[in-house]
Amino acid sequence: MAAPHAVFGQETREHDFTDLDRDVGVLKHVKLRLKLANRFIGQADFGSFEARSYQPEGRLKLTVPVAKNAGLRLLGTGRVIIYDFDGASDLAGDSPGSEDPFDSLNSWTLRLQGAYFLDEDVTLFSDKERWSILVDAFGKARWESGSDLSDALTWGGTLALGYKLAERLEVAAGLSIRTKLMKDGIGVSPLIEVDWRINDDWRLRSYGVGLEVERRLTERFRLFARVRLEGRSYRLEDRGGTIGKGKIHIRQLPTGLGFRWDLARRFRLTAALGAIAYQRLRVKNEDDDTIGSETADPSPYVMVRFDLRP
């Protein structure tokens, strides 16, 4: 369940509620995890231009037990998308710093999360179930290099109800609210996460707007298949004219196969190979009107991630 969560048609989100829910009542000391990942997307043909991208990412997760039935977590994530373009495009006009349609895209997110287990005698369906209350508050920024960071800030939070049945099934359901990039008002979106350990070898879980199936081969080695819809918006540098300080929205549908390999007690290697089955770039101006959109043919991707648990 605690996979990155994407709200339907909106921004990709990263809650990791299930991990926090699972640690409460078990974790005795502070737990620190560091994730370093890279994803390379091969040449994608958008019609008027071609592009490939390199996406390094780092993530820090600090979990702190505060009581027998409660815990807190701090999450920090940073990512950059570096594009290499072939051909000209007026999708977003030229970047003020180059002849490419846009420069590298950056993002950071800081989250504070909490989980509180209700008393064991609070049950509805089984004496093996546990209910919890999950909360999340975040600040994030997504911007093109050269743009004003203050224009790219958004804030929000989530309130959810968690359900855990023995060690087999975990569910979280709730609502997320957030400020909107480049628009007034508040956005409200549903949150639904599921993690089902079908048996000792098979696992099915939601992974944003998508699914992941995992098969355990040994205690240290697992295979998985995944499909997921991703969507993120980035504030653009001021281009003047009809765009001004607009934004670019990236929508992708990666599908792939991969493995998780616990090389040591505190070190895990994850790798995946697949295709971006659908990829669209859409640019909006300051008035939130679409002024350009390009869709690419399917392209290959490779992802490698290192998990360190000191």
Mean pLDDT of 203-223: 93
Q: Which residues contact 163 (CB under 8 A, 6 or more apart)?
A: 129, 130, 131, 132, 169, 170, 171, 172
pLDDT tens-digit profile of 10-32?
Answer: 344 455 666 666 666 566 778 89
pLDDT tens-digit profile of 98-111?
Answer: 678 889 999 999 99
H/E stretch holding 23 = helix 17-23
Total count of domains within the chain: 1
pLDDT recorded at residue 5: 33
For 22, the domain range is 4-308
Please classify residue 201 by burial: count the beta carbons closer than 10 Å to its beta carbon, then call 0-12 exposed, 13-18 middle and 19+ buried: exposed
* pLDDT of 255 strictly over 70: yes
pTM of the model: 0.87
What single letter denotes the amino acid at residue 35?
A: K
305: nearest Cα among 30, 96, 40, 117: 40
Widest pairwise Cα distance in the chain:
65
Mean pLDDT of 244-263: 94
Q: How many CB atoms lie within 10 A of CB 192?
A: 15
Tell me the CA distances in angstroms from 126 to 22, 39, 131, one per residue in order: 18, 42, 11
